[in-house]
Structure 1
């Protein structure tokens, strides 16, 4: 018997070559950033070969989904669109030749989205909440899924001292509005995933509140993504540098799953897959891999 979780209006999703029943499973999204200034790996996967190797290693480790980024969210000068395309498209093409894993691209640029979809991407992950409506129109003209994320600032600009009266209520209102915009642009609800944007234009107390009340995000009724891995709210909570946030990341991901998250975006894939599958089983969403302990006439040590 499974525990109660917020219901989904469109739980069964065809994403690329895969079918996900989000009423019964959680997808693990691995992060691969082809940027020289990634907040986590500091450029370790900036080279094309390194990025492709990281993608294939994540697939081998059990990732359901690979999220490829060419531009970090943090404030900084704009990257020319052609340069972003040159970063992400070769990775998509190389990965698609080797695997049918779900591929998403973390971008807010419509032309990058267009080229990514042509190259084989299945998902566009827009961390700016459809700041440019053309992006939604491009997704609508394809079979791709759209991730809509809450953030307040213009892309790659600072937003000092963000303030909310009720961060969860305001994020829910934003996401409902942006989902409506996407649907009006032609993207069906059955191809939309929502993300409250942990740490994006939010301080640690805001993000902890979002995590604590993640069920209110999930109650929107669309699959909700929790991008918690190695974020600063974990570092500030535990006084942990970026290389020491694995345990906190896993704890945050597991808690979000118990509150209705159906996709978790993670850096440490092997450990995350194990934590997610264990959580699914505890929740009654899946069966154990096998049963042996105390199942026979003789107890085994």
Structure 2
């Protein structure tokens, strides 16, 4: 899943793809580089980010979705606002990726009657404040798993088919460095018992990588590739990244290794 930020202030590429032409060119490049999906975001959710007014988010995102409808890969929109969800579904979005896990009033209603995919993310607190205070969990893996189970129940009560839903532990969203790596190491254990939902891992360029390498956001490509391979190894079905071509290469090597082990020595 290639990240297309149409925001002036995202932490790693804010402002670069704001114009429609630049955004379309960027999406085309990611698809050429091997992206299977594009995730379009019109509001930065980096720690400390200010909320974006509804009309501004619609202005940023809807024209991009409309312009990209013709491409041959699914389009995801990263939003938590029910009005944006409704508008982008009309515009042709295939998936809604919600950092709030569809907890805002009206969010489930906005998506339940469509057939779009849904990505439920775990977040402690809210983007503006989530990293101001040290996040505390008794057991971070159990907390994320319980949150997923509760959201899955809410969708089930609303009559939403389970096969539409994927789950994202929300790396960096109200977690310490230790929490993030525990959630990576035990990614498969965030899946609620007796269910299967594709797991999405989004660690590309995040501070959890800087915390280990000491590098700034622009220098985290090798760390991002390592994180992508670690996530794939632990069962992630969707890897959300800025650097598509490089990640595709890294995952091809991981996949070839995995396939060679399974097929034995022929």
TM-score of the pair, normalised by structure 2: 0.92
Residue 240 of structure 1: aligned partner: 215
Tell me the matched-pair count: 260
Q: CA deviation at 1:156?
A: 4.0
Q: Check if 1:61 corresponds to 2:33.
A: yes
| Counterpart-to-counterpart distance in 1, 2:129 and 2:86 | 24
Q: CA deviation at 1:132?
A: 1.2
Structure 2: which 5+ runs fail to align? Answer: none
| Counterpart-to-counterpart distance in 1, 2:141 and 2:17 | 34
| Counterpart-to-counterpart distance in 1, 2:262 and 2:22 | 36
Q: CA deviation at 1:83?
A: 1.1
Q: CA deviation at 1:116?
A: 0.5
| Counterpart-to-counterpart distance in 2, 1:137 and 1:157 | 27
Question: What is the aligned counterpart of 1:271 among 246, 251, 256?
Answer: 246
SS at match of 1:161: coil
| Correspondences of 1:185-196 after superposition (within 5 Å) | 185-196=158-169
**Is the Cα–Cα contact under 8 Å of residues 36 and 42 in structure 1 kept in the other structure?**
yes
| Counterpart-to-counterpart distance in 2, 1:119 and 1:266 | 24
SS at match of 1:124: strand
Residue 185 of structure 2: aligned partner: 212
| Correspondences of 1:218-237 after superposition (within 5 Å) | 218=191, 220-237=195-212
**Is the Cα–Cα contact under 8 Å of residues 119 and 168 in structure 2 kept in the other structure?**
yes
SS at match of 1:152: coil
**Is the Cα–Cα contact under 8 Å of residues 127 and 173 in structure 2 kept in the other structure?**
no
**Is the Cα–Cα contact under 8 Å of residues 210 and 220 in structure 2 kept in the other structure?**
yes
Residue 122 of structure 2: aligned partner: 150
Kindly provide the CA deviation profile for residues 90-116 of structure 1, in whole angstroms up to 9, marking residues without a partner as x. 11111113x121100000000100111
| Counterpart-to-counterpart distance in 1, 2:67 and 2:172 | 31
**Is the Cα–Cα contact under 8 Å of residues 89 and 116 in structure 1 kept in the other structure?**
yes
SS at match of 1:284: helix
| Correspondences of 1:123-162 after superposition (within 5 Å) | 123-154=95-126, 156-159=128-131, 160-162=133-135
| Correspondences of 1:1-301 after superposition (within 5 Å) | 29-74=1-46, 75-97=48-70, 99-154=71-126, 156-159=128-131, 160-218=133-191, 220-284=195-259
Kindly provide the CA deviation profile for residues 228-256 of structure 1, in whole angstroms up to 9, marking residues without a partner as x. 10110001100011111111111111111
Aligned-residue CA RMSD (Å): 2.0
| Counterpart-to-counterpart distance in 2, 1:37 and 1:79 | 11
Kindly tell me: are residues 225 and 286 of structure 1, through their superposed partners in 2, closer, same or farther at Cα, counting changes over 3 Å? farther
Q: Which moved more, 1:217-226 or 1:118-127?
A: 217-226
Q: Which moved more, 1:265-274 or 1:151-160?
A: 151-160
Kindly tell me: are residues 44 and 287 of structure 1, through their superposed partners in 2, closer, same or farther at Cα, counting changes over 3 Å? farther
Higher Cα Rg, which structure? 1
**Is the Cα–Cα contact under 8 Å of residues 218 and 259 in structure 1 kept in the other structure?**
no
Kindly provide the CA deviation profile for residues 259-278 of structure 1, in whole angstroms up to 9, marking residues without a partner as x. 11100001100011112222
**Is the Cα–Cα contact under 8 Å of residues 6 and 14 in structure 2 kept in the other structure?**
no
